[in-house]
Amino acid sequence: AQSVAQPEDQVNVAEGNPLTVKCTYSVSGNPYLFWYVQYPNRGLQFLLKYITGDNLVKGSYGFEAEFNKSQTSFHLKKPSALVSDSALYFCAVREGSNYQLIWGAGTKLIIKP
């Protein structure tokens, strides 16, 4: 069965430091991987995706993510965190022929000034 794990409920980072939000997945076929961000009282906003090709994908607001097939991971990264990056981050996976996204539990990212 498809699944997504985000092992950290919360990540705390000082402003200006690099950040990483972890995600691992399990699918039987080729995965399509996505990161979304949710600000308070807002919907889910698309950040970036991996479909095929380069393992490092770049997205909105300076975020990037690295696809690692052997470790079945898709960690979200940013070289220098901003206070405004504080939000809830969700990793999601879709297996090729399916329509639905399978979601991780979310990681709360807190950036301290």
Residues found near another protein in the complex (CB under 8 A)? 32, 34, 36, 41-46, 49, 51-52, 90, 92, 94, 96, 98-106
Tell me which DSSP letter residue 101 carries: P
* Nearest approach, Cβ of residue 68 and another protein (Å): 18
The CA distance from 25 to 72, in Å, is 6
Q: Which residues of 3-12 are buried (b: 16+ CB within 10 A; e: fewer)?
A: ebebebeebe
* Nearest approach, Cβ of residue 48 and another protein (Å): 9
The CA distance from 27 to 34, in Å, is 14
Which residue lies nearer to another protein by CB, 52 or 113? 52
Which residue lies nearer to another protein by CB, 25 or 90? 90
Which residue lies nearer to another protein by CB, 17 or 30? 30
